[in-house]
């Protein structure tokens, strides 16, 4: 299958991620933040994501990934949405963010446009992304979790800060856990958030080293490996070729990702290591047999993720457009 950079039909890459240290501004967040200033906020977001997800089924996975990428660098402040200009190369244009899906950016922009008509200058892009992510996850079968609101949009987005802060498919469990731990997340929470790979896809370049040559991974399910080799045979000339993260139920948020790991059906090397490493294996086995436990832990971890590094009035703004700072010279 071939996919454009703004993913079409079937699949979507997810990198497990998390964000910088929790700021003092977490206390300002509350679920009813817009009850008086923008009473139709929930309705507008819900209707927009329903329409978009119906039109483009990869939107849920793409938006979930975009939310992760936003939060683990500079906190949940919509910095990943900023477009590069002549003054600044923004986060979204770093090579590691190259495959962030266009549909995820689009749904945020659609919602922002609708909200600016209803309650101009009130709702931050950071809150839109957080709320849309929750609504989309539940739409594809995932657990409901509260989204506390009141974030402000960040005032900085630098591409050079991305590398070294984004967990990568070839990293060890120890290295990836280090990124989570320094931001207050436990090993169990890391594994739960990794379960987001139950939806979406990854490009062949992210796992091709497991398929070919002397370093091919013998622990991949043989039939799975054969199919992936055929799928990815031209990936060096077409870097948009991709495969489902969860080959069994790619469009449904469930615990199949963990079941797949036990069968040698983990797509990324970092996925497979979760069942190999003695520190993470017990959590994989728990979630593979108990979907309720996975959903509870995932929901809790997502609530926590959404409060990481949030900006208050002194550190941020409410952007008029999600892809530009209000001061265009920044």
Annotated binding site: 70, 75, 77, 79, 91, 167, 197-198, 246, 249, 254
- Active-site residue flag, 69: yes
Determine the Cα–Cα distance for residues 312 and 25; give it in Å rounded to an integer. Answer: 6
- In terms of residues, how long is the chain? 330
Determine the Cα–Cα distance for residues 67 and 259; give it in Å rounded to an integer. Answer: 25
**The token pair that represents 238 in the structure block:** 């077409």
Give the position of tokens 């500079």.
Answer: 74
DSSP-derived 3-state class of residue 170: coil
| Annotated catalytic residue, options 69, 203, 235, 272 | 69
DSSP-derived 3-state class of residue 201: strand
**The token pair that represents 75 in the structure block:** 């906190």
Helix locations, the chain, DSSP H: 41-55, 59-72, 102-118, 125-139, 173-181, 187-194, 222-231, 256-262, 269-276, 281-289, 291-305
Beta bridge partners, 317, equal 153
Q: Annotated catalytic sites, by residue? A: 69
């Amino acid at each position: 299958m071939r996919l454009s950079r703004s993913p079409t039909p079937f699949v979507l890459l997810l990198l497990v991620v998390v964000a910088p240290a929790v700021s003092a501004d977490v206390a300002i967040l509350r679920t009813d933040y817009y009850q008086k200033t923008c009473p139709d906020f929930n309705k507008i977001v819900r209707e927009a994501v329903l329409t978009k997800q119906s039109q483009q089924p990869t939107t849920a996975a793409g938006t979930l990934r975009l939310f992760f990428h936003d939060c683990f660098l500079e906190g949940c402040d919509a910095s990943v949405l900023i477009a590069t200009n002549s003054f600044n190369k923004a986060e979204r244009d770093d090579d590691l963010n190259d495959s962030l899906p266009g549909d995820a950016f689009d749904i945020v922009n659609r919602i922002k446009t609708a909200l600016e008509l209803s309650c101009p200058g009130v709702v931050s892009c950071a809150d839109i992304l957080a709320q849309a992510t929750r609504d989309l996850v539940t739409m594809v079968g995932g657990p409901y979790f509260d989204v506390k609101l009141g974030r402000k949009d960040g005032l900085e987005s630098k591409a050079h800060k991305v590398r070294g802060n984004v967990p990568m498919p070839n990293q060890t469990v120890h290295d990836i856990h280090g990124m989570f731990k320094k931001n207050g997340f436990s090993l169990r929470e890391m594994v739960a958030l990794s379960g987001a790979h139950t939806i979406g896809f990854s490009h062949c370049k992210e796992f091709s080293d497991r398929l070919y040559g002397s370093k091919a991974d013998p622990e991949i399910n043989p039939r799975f490996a054969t199919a992936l080799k055929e799928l990815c045979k031209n990936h060096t000339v077409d870097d948009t070729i991709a495969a489902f993260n969860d080959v069994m139920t790619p469009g449904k948020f469930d615990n199949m990702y963990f079941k797949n790991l036990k069968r040698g059906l983990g797509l990324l090397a970092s996925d497979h290591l979760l069942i190999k490493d003695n520190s993470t294996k017990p959590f994989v086995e728990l979630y593979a047999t108990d979907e309720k436990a996975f959903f509870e832990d995932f929901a809790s971890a997502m609530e926590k993720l959404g409060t990481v590094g949030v900006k208050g009035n002194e550190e941020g703004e409410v952007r008029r457009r999600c892809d530009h700072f209000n001061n265009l010279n920044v």
